[in-house]
Structure 1
């Protein structure tokens, strides 16, 4: 069963760190089997929804998504990001 990696950016503190992260993270995630499905600001937000940058990435499985996050290449991207953002990141199994 597939899985989704969802990142919601609560606060961007340092755009340069985010840019450095993106240059490393994109290739690392794609090499690990991830497919970027959506990224950007919401077109609409309802109920208690907040207008925050959101990234949705598809994987073949939860194990593949977790392995991508734990990979040395992605950990290098996280090190570049450092304290540049405050975000909520989760992996969920597809229905």
Structure 2
């Protein structure tokens, strides 16, 4: 069953570190089988919705998304980001 990786930046402290992360994270996610479906700031937010930068990536399974997180390429991206941002990452099952 497909899965979706939802990454929301709750705070950005260092734009340079964020740029270094983005440069490494994109290729790492694609190498792990991820397909970017959306990224950027929300066009609209309702109720308690946040307006922070969000990324939505499709994977073939939860296991594939979790493996992407633990991959050497993504870990290098996390190292580049360091304390440059705070994020919330969720991996959820898709609907059949």
| TM-score normalized with structure 1 length | 0.98
Could you tell me which residue of structure 2 aligns to residue 64 of structure 1? Answer: 64
Q: 1:20-68: CA deviations, max 9, x gaps?
A: 0111111010000000000001111111111111100000000100000
Which ranges of 4 or more aligned residues in structure 1 deviate by more than 6 Å? none
Which consecutive residues of structure 1, in runs of 5 or more, have no partner in the other structure? none
Could you tell me which residue of structure 1 aligns to residue 33 of structure 2? Answer: 33
Could you tell me which residue of structure 2 aligns to residue 48 of structure 1? Answer: 48
Could you tell me which residue of structure 1 aligns to residue 4 of structure 2? Answer: 4
- Secondary structure class of the residue paired with 2:89: strand
How many aligned residue pairs are there?
A: 95
Which consecutive residues of structure 2, in runs of 5 or more, have no partner in the other structure? none
